[in-house]
Amino acid sequence: MISEIRKNVKRKIVSVVSSISEDNVSVKKPLHKYILEIVTGVLASKSCNLTEIARSLKEDIAIKDTLKRIRRNVHDHPEILELSNYYNMNKWKDKVREETIIALDAGDICHHFGNNFENHCRLRDGIKGSTGNGYYLNQISCYNPSERITFPMYLDMYSSEEQSFKSMNTESMKAVENFVSAAGPKGLWVLDRGYDGGIMLNYFLNKDLDFVTRSTKKRHLVLAQLCQKNA
């Protein structure tokens, strides 16, 4: 029973990795092998920690050697996040309809004990409520009420210390732009309070995208039609 489950899981992993490779001519065999082992390691270890992933692979070599190879591949293949986004959007884009609820949410990855990560920036840890070094996230997930299914579409990680960084609004608009270019302007965007500034609101209005957002008490809402009626 357990053996059969393992075979089914492995078959599914191979299927996903193979489909990523087929859709991207740039995926060579070394990258294909790396994606296969990193996906397997994450599922087996239930962790994104490279040491835990290396341990879970249970190779016939020292864990330190497995870890060294994984670290080298992480450094050599920064395009893996882009490939993941391409795969998700290509797989789920036909599920995006007028009824689809599209959640755009900000997040962060905070490393309180890591000082040598590339382009670390200071940010507020949303879980602990303290500040630390880490990276910002933009995440897009969708929900179809009629089918009661939730599916991921996009994830981006960035730092304010990167040379190409302009603003958090620019990063958020890039995420929306990539989503719309793949799935179209359909659906209702749901935004948290971090997106209720004038720049983001004007962006959604100019793009003619349907949206609803939470606002802080500092915001003042002016209804143009109401003002015209009272004038």
**pLDDT(139) > 70:** yes
Q: What is the pLDDT of residue 9?
A: 60
H or E element at residue 150: strand 149-158
Structural domain for 52, as ranges: 2-76
- Report residue 130's pLDDT band, with 50, 70 and 90 as the boundaries: confident
Residues 102 and 183 in one domain: yes
Residues 70 and 114 in one domain: no
Q: Rounded distance, CA 74 to CA 49, Å? A: 12
Residues 16 and 71 in one domain: yes
- Report residue 148's pLDDT band, with 50, 70 and 90 as the boundaries: very high
φ, ψ for residue 140 (rounded to 5)? -130, 120
Which residues sit opposite 141 in a β-bridge?
103, 152
Residues 115 and 174 in one domain: yes
Is residue 43 a part of any domain in this protein? Answer: yes
H or E element at residue 189: strand 188-191
User: 171-196 pLDDT, tens per residue?
Assistant: 999 999 999 999 999 999 999 877 88
Is residue 98 a part of any domain in this protein? Answer: yes
Residues 141 and 163 in one domain: yes
- Nearest C-alpha neighbor of 158 from the set 146, 167, 145, 149: 167
Residues 105 and 59 in one domain: no
H or E element at residue 188: strand 188-191
What six digits make up the tokens of 21? 């490779």
User: 7-61 pLDDT, tens per residue?
Assistant: 566 666 666 666 665 555 567 778 878 888 888 888 888 888 899 999 998 889 9
Looking at 27, 44, 76, which one is the last position of a domain? 76
Number of structural domains the chain divides into: 2
For the segment 147-166, the average pLDDT, to the nearest whole number, is 93
- Look up the CATH number of the domain holding residue 86: 3.90.350.10
What's the full length of the chain, in residues? 231
SS3 146: coil
Q: What is the pLDDT of residue 3?
A: 47
Looking at 76, 94, 113, which one is the last position of a domain? 76
Residues 56 and 113 in one domain: no
> Please, are residues 109 and 137 in contact by the beta-carbon 8 Å criterion?
yes
Residues 137 and 202 in one domain: yes
CB neighbour class for 135 (10 Å; exposed up to 12, middle 13-18, buried from 19): buried
